[in-house]
Amino acid sequence: MSNKKQVHVMRMPIRWGDMDAMGHVNNTVYFRYIESARIAWLEEAGGTPDPGSVTEGPVIVSAQCSFIKQLKYPGEIEVTTYVGPPGRSSFDVTHEIRLVGPDGKAGDLYAQGGAKVVWVNFAAEKSVPVPDAVRAMLPAA
Q: Dump pLDDT digits (tens) for 43-101.
A: 888 777 777 777 899 999 999 999 999 999 999 999 999 999 999 999 999 999 999 99
User: How far is Cα 38 from Cα 16, in angstroms, rounded to an integer?
Assistant: 22
User: How far is Cα 93 from Cα 64, in angstroms, rounded to an integer?
Assistant: 11
pLDDT digits (tens, 9 = 90+) for 14-52: 999 999 999 999 999 999 999 999 999 988 887 777 777
Residue 136 reports pLDDT greater than 60: yes
Segment (H or E) for 36: helix 27-44
Q: Is 30 helix (H, G, I), strand (E, B) or coil?
A: helix
Question: Is residue 136 within 8 Å of 83, Cβ to Cβ?
Answer: no
In this prediction, residues 3-24 reach a mean pLDDT of 95
pLDDT score, position 59: 92
pLDDT score, position 3: 87
Q: Is 40 helix (H, G, I), strand (E, B) or coil?
A: helix
pLDDT score, position 2: 64
User: How far is Cα 94 from Cα 80, in angstroms, rounded to an integer?
Assistant: 8
Residues 6+ positions from 15 with CB-CB distance below 8 Å: 73
Question: Is residue 89 within 8 Å of 119, Cβ to Cβ?
Answer: yes
The region, left, alpha or beta by phi > 0 then psi within -120 to 50, assigned to residue 17 is alpha
The residue ranking higher by pLDDT, 3 or 6, is 6
User: How far is Cα 25 from Cα 121, in angstroms, rounded to an integer?
Assistant: 35
pLDDT digits (tens, 9 = 90+) for 101-121: 999 999 999 999 999 999 999
Residue type, 70: Q
